[in-house]
Amino acid sequence: MKYYVKTSWDENVPVRNIYCIGRNYRAHAAELNNEVPKQPFFFQKSLPSLNTSREIIVPDNRDIHHELEVVILVQKNGENINEADVQNHIGGFALGLDLTDRNFQNELKEKKLPWLLSKSFKGSAVVSRFQSKPIEEDFWLKINGLFRQKGNVKDMVFSIPKQVSYLSEMIPLLAGDLIFTGTPSGVGPIHTGDKLELGIGEHSIHSIVVS
């Protein structure tokens, strides 16, 4: 079974791996009482967690939090990519939600266990269509019409070139890999019936309903 993301030019691109950086905005690290890391660190979401639909199905009795993030699509294989060359390896930019089972993640963190199971439930890697243009304006999440998260890539602890270069030194990147580049502050729960809108600047680019 293959999993695909869509582009604004109507291409379906098969996805390989889903990587995510943690604690990449100072205000978000602080809101969860975490220190800002000195080096980037990453975790993965499972491939079947990919969600390009218009629906989030929340597992029963779980405290699922939204984490709004810029997502990048890797367009060609690469190892040890120089920061200056990173732009040649990126095939598109999207907005996404790194949905997280927060209580479960906290339990795993306390036990010093991997976060995988709190980050990888079906439908938990929400991704909009990819555009070719970098996301330079403020990006945002509204829930039921109210702003809940707002961010700008210039506030990242580790810039996109830095994190892609670093990750490619550790793991060969493959065409079709996705990288979630971290969430700004304002994470919080979603509930059945919520209507979520993701946008850039003045424009809403993706809407999704929680059921």
Residues lying near Mg ion in the complex (CB under 5 A): 67, 98, 183
Identity of the residue, 85 or 162, whose beta carbon is nearer to Mg ion in the bound complex: 162
Report in angstroms how near the CB of residue 202 gets to Mg ion at its nearest.
25
CA dist 124 and 64 (Å) reads 9
Shortest distance (Å) from residue 14 CB to Mg ion: 23
User: Smaller CB distance to Mg ion: residue 28 or 89?
Assistant: 28
Distance between CA atoms of 35 and 39, rounded to whole angstroms?
Answer: 11
Shortest distance in whole angstroms from residue 163 CB to Mg ion: 12
Number of residue whose CB is nearest Mg ion: 98
List phi, psi (to 5°) of 65: -105, 145
Q: Could you give the 3-state DSSP secondary structure of residue 175? A: coil
Is the CB of 39 or the CB of 193 nearer to Mg ion? 39
The whole-angstrom separation of Cα 205 and Cα 154 is 20
| Residue 57, number of CB atoms within 10 A of its CB | 15
CB of 10 to Mg ion, least distance (A): 28
DSSP reduced 3-state for 23:
coil
Integer Cα distance of 137 and 146 in angstroms: 19
CA atoms within 13 A on the CB side of 136: 3
Kindly tell me which of 92 and 98 has the beta carbon lying closer to Mg ion.
98
Whole-number Å distance between alpha carbons of 62 and 162: 34
Could you tell me the smallest distance in angstroms from the CB atom of residue 158 to Mg ion?
13
Our CB check for Mg ion shows the closer of 98 and 101 to be 98
Nearest distance in Å: CB 180, Mg ion: 6
Nearer to Mg ion, 66 or 89 (CB): 66
Amino acid identity of residue 204, one-letter, is: S
